[in-house]
A and B are shown apart, each in its own frame.
Chain A
């Protein structure tokens, strides 16, 4: 079956521009996560959606970052007024149920380069 898909695969933008990154989770998965992977820094948690509950936004690094999940499925991560330090791979993952002790299935990521 289809896995987690993300678009675009690559994004090059100029400093100060806004970008939107999209994630399509595995059908039927109720939990969705965004992580950021910077060189040598591992994966950094950004935000977690679980069903209709309020998202856990505790990992968002600044108020320039926001995310929404429409209809319990597709999610969009928005970065406003991008900075060079935002350059990273943004990974989306989904899991079947509440997410606790469940396998998180990752998409291939969106590689963001801010010039």
Chain B
């Protein structure tokens, strides 16, 4: 079964707007939550990651919000730009499976100029 559920599947945002992608997980042993960005024809690249001891992490225009009790986390992209158009994957890691990442199904973001 899907260990990490991601929504929406696709997202269209105007330039300058806020993009929000949500993920949920069930396994309480997960303790590392990265977001990956993938451009067409390329492999995914780490964008930002959070551990559950904090509720928010910000790097430039990208922010992860983490709600441990709800087992949810989200990516917010502020002032979205056309160059942000890509597929975004949330992921989770932890417990007995060590380095294995469990990925969501991805969100295809399109930012219109």
CA distance A40 to B89 in the complex (A): 11
CA distance A106 to B91 in the complex (A): 14
The answer to whether A102 has its CB under 8 Å from any CB of chain B is yes
CA distance A56 to B100 in the complex (A): 9
> Taking beta carbons and an 8 Å cutoff, which residues of B are in contact with A?
6, 9, 31-32, 34, 36, 41-46, 49, 51, 89, 91, 93, 97-106
Chain A residues within an 8 Å CB radius of B49:
103
Chain B residues within an 8 Å CB radius of A44:
103
Q: Is the CB of B46 within 8 A of A107?
A: no
Which of A48, A56, A104, A106 is the most central at the interface, judged by chain B CB atoms within 10 Å of its CB? A104
The answer to whether A72 has its CB under 8 Å from any CB of chain B is no
Q: Is the CB of B32 within 8 A of A43?
A: no
The answer to whether A62 has its CB under 8 Å from any CB of chain B is no
CA distance A41 to B99 in the complex (A): 20
Chain A residue nearest to B102 (CB atoms) is: A45
> Which one of A42, A100, A108 lies within 8 Å of B103 (CB-CB)?
A42
CB of B104, distance to nearest CB on chain A (Å): 6
Q: Is the CB of A106 within 8 A of B32?
A: no
The contact sample of 6 A-B pairs, CB cut-off 8 A, is A35-B101, A40-B9, A44-B103, A56-B100, A106-B43, A108-B41
Chain A residues within an 8 Å CB radius of B42:
108
Q: Is the CB of A102 within 8 A of B99?
A: yes
CB of B4, distance to nearest CB on chain A (Å): 8
CA distance A43 to B3 in the complex (A): 12
Q: Is the CB of B46 within 8 A of A31?
A: no
Q: Is the CB of B106 within 8 A of A42?
A: yes
